[in-house]
Amino acid sequence: MPWNLNSDSPIFVQIIEHLQIDIVSGKYKPGDKLPSVRDLAGEAGVNPNTMQKALSELESTGLVHSERTSGRFITEDDNMIKNLRKSLVDVQIEKFFKSMEKLGFTGDEILELVKEYAQK
């Protein structure tokens, strides 16, 4: 099944986000070998050039590195992955707070509601 891509942002940006989530969630573990660009593109249902662009971006941040003849590998740097996880979570939390504020809740009310939900 092709990845779920929305129509808002550039495709290569969405590919990067998708891959980051895959890394953070453990689908790709540290040190794992990534499939080839062509296979990944086929899986995602996207243009191979766009996939290549996204992977190069990830390489420049260090999340992924390429060994000349063997392909691309996820970094073994656990700290980097932890930091990425934190920043992704921060984005989600910020989104959550923004939409709750739109509904008219204050910061304290939000914390209460979250506690209630977590205890269910």
Enumerate binding residues for other proteins (CB under 8 A).
1-2, 5, 7-13, 38, 41-42, 44-50
CA nearest 18: which of 56, 38, 44?
Answer: 44
Q: Are the CB atoms for 48 and 41 separated by under 8 Å? A: yes
Q: Smallest distance from the beta carbon of 69 to other proteins, in angstroms?
A: 18
SS3 42: helix
Rounded distance between C-alpha atoms, residue 112 and residue 66, angstroms? 46
SS3 29: coil
Smaller CB distance to other proteins: residue 9 or 99?
9
Strands 71-74 and 64-67: antiparallel
Q: Smallest distance from the beta carbon of 35 to other proteins, in angstroms?
A: 12
Smaller CB distance to other proteins: residue 10 or 62?
10
Q: Smallest distance from the beta carbon of 60 to other proteins, in angstroms?
A: 17
Smaller CB distance to other proteins: residue 50 or 56?
50
Q: Smallest distance from the beta carbon of 78 to other proteins, in angstroms?
A: 32
